[in-house]
Amino acid sequence: MTAFSAMIALAPQARDADLVGRGGGRAAIRLLIWTALWATVLRNIGGSVGAWAEGSLGVGVTFLIAVAIPVWLFVVFPSWLAFRFAAPRGMRRLALAACWMSPLVRLRDLPSIAAFFDAAVDSPFRLAPWGELPADTWTALASALQADRRRAPAHAARIVDALAHLPAGARFPWLARVHGVETLVLSAVARRDWPAVARYARLGQGRLVVLLAMVARAARGDDVPAFELWIAWLRAPMRRALLPIVRTAVAQGQAVVTADVPPRARATIHARHVAMLEAAARHEELRTDDVMALAAAWQPAVDDAALAALHARALELGVRDGGARAQALREQVLDELALLLARADGELPRAPAHPFADTLAARAREGEIARIKASLAAFDADAVGPSLPPLAAWERWLALRAAWERAEQTAGRAALATLWRTGVRDRLWSYCCAVSHSHGTRAAWAAHMMFDWLADRAEVAGDLVAVLANRENARIALASLR
């Protein structure tokens, strides 16, 4: 692929639409209605209060009535009405009308916010089908919320990780950080999944998210002072609903809300292994060092002497191919450790301390490379079209991104550079261009992220042509968002 063919064109409608097109017309009408409505409200407040007070009000009260309250009514109240009052009660139309009135909401975000409201009440998207929705922060959060509720934590975690590492310039609206993330966090709180709460809360802002992040830290065993928890609870909304959780967190100190969490076994290597599988299944954070420590502990249990003892037991039981059976158990342990390693964070040690760890590291590397190659099959540029919505195209890329970034910690730069040049570069690049061409501005947010990621990977692989072309593509995608 040449750099020229892999460039995307700046869609002329991108900038013009908001200024003079239908989008611009709607924005102008919205501004006019705002102006008329708020001017009327302000005039009525001023007129009534002025007539009632007859000049007796001091400077402070006048400022409060004439400036602070109207500003709050104009800026904060509509979004409060939408997200705190109407949406939780299922009043979708009122919530959307309030969003339309809010100066904190961009007009073009409204379809995505409507989709988010639908996801929040767990109903199918009504305003527009997935294919017509843009890929943006709101639809990404809606998708993460659906994944979280449908017990697909890996999918939700990939979306959240991508949102936590947005490239410079990518939009993450303030309301999405506060209310969108809040809904996602509350979904995890409902099933007491504190690792997920902590993971989601990193994206968000706001008093409720801060409180729930503190409770999640306490559940993890961190030292969270009770005083700080109570202060955060006092400041947060939904105080009555959250009181039992906070009370439990305070009462139990470090062991919060763990009534349904079984005690952790630490006694034997087998039990430690199963406990780590459980932690991985619960999407708790695993560290590479911990998996390697487990592997080190396994070594004497699967070395030649241990396998010989197992072989002897196989003979007692009358098992044919006892040696092969014993070896298969060792391979099974290695496979399971490699699977755990694939879920763990942190780089593999440069020089493994023992042969078992060396074998494990090699197996983990092979697994990561195989995972990337398998996921590449989905990136067919010719198959990209209206049938593949922008958000689905972005989510498909997230799977490859997760596998690649994990491989960066295990497979080494040389192996990835080879993989980049032989398979990933052209296929993924064509795919991103096809998504961008096919969906235009609706895919611009996603395209910006994908091109920026491609440029970063090309830089690591020393592929200057791909770096320059993808940086330019990312810039064009970003420009079409403005």
Partner 1 sequence: MTDADDVENLMRERLANPFLVLAVAPSASAAEIERQGQRLLAELAAGLDGARRYETPLGMRERTSELVRSAIAELRDPARRLGHEWWARGLAAAVAV
Least distance in angstroms from the C-beta of 158 to partner 1: 10
Residue 322 binds partner 1 (CB under 8 A) = yes
What are the residue ranges of helices labelled H in 440-463? Answer: 444-461
**What part of residues 285-314 is at the interface with partner 1 (CB under 8 A)?**
301, 310, 313-314
Total residues in contact with partner 1, by rule CB under 8 A: 39
Residue 255 binds partner 1 (CB under 8 A) = no
Q: For 440-443, which contacts have Cβ atoms below 8 Å and span 24 or more sequence positions?
A: 440/11, 440/13, 440/14, 440/480, 441/11, 441/13, 441/14, 441/17, 441/134, 441/480, 441/481, 442/132, 442/133, 442/134, 442/135, 442/390, 443/134, 443/135, 443/390, 443/393, 443/394
Q: Is 267 helix (H, G, I), strand (E, B) or coil?
A: coil
Q: Taking contact as CB under 8 A, which single stretch among the options 106-114, 230-238, 318-326, 376-384 is the one that binds partner 1?
A: 318-326
State the Cα–Cα distance between residues 116 and 143, nearest whole angstrom: 8
State the Cα–Cα distance between residues 436 and 449, nearest whole angstrom: 11
**What part of residues 324-343 is at the interface with partner 1 (CB under 8 A)?**
325, 328-329, 332, 336, 339-340, 342-343
Token code pair at residue 41: 């409200």
Residue 417 binds partner 1 (CB under 8 A) = no
Least distance in angstroms from the C-beta of 312 to partner 1: 11
Residue 283 binds partner 1 (CB under 8 A) = yes
Residues 41 and 73 sit within 8 Å (Cβ to Cβ): yes
Q: Where are any strands of DSSP class E within 325-453?
A: 344-345
Residues 207 and 237 sit within 8 Å (Cβ to Cβ): yes
Of 262, 350, 382, 414, the one binding partner 1 by CB under 8 A = 262
Least distance in angstroms from the C-beta of 193 to partner 1: 13
Of 31, 75, 241, 265, the one binding partner 1 by CB under 8 A = 265
**By C-beta, is 140 or 280 nearer to partner 1?**
280
Q: Which residues of 236-245 are buried (b: 16+ CB within 10 A; e: fewer)?
A: bebeeebeeb
The four Cα atoms 375, 378, 382, 385 give a dihedral, to 10 degrees, of -130
**What part of residues 32-91 is at the interface with partner 1 (CB under 8 A)?**
none
Of 20, 271, 353, 374, the one binding partner 1 by CB under 8 A = 271
Q: Taking contact as CB under 8 A, which single stretch among the options 46-54, 122-130, 243-251, 256-264 is the one that binds partner 1?
A: 256-264
Residues that bind partner 1 (CB under 8 A): 152-155, 262-265, 267-271, 273-275, 277-278, 280-281, 283, 301, 310, 313-314, 317-320, 322, 325, 328-329, 332, 336, 339-340, 342-343
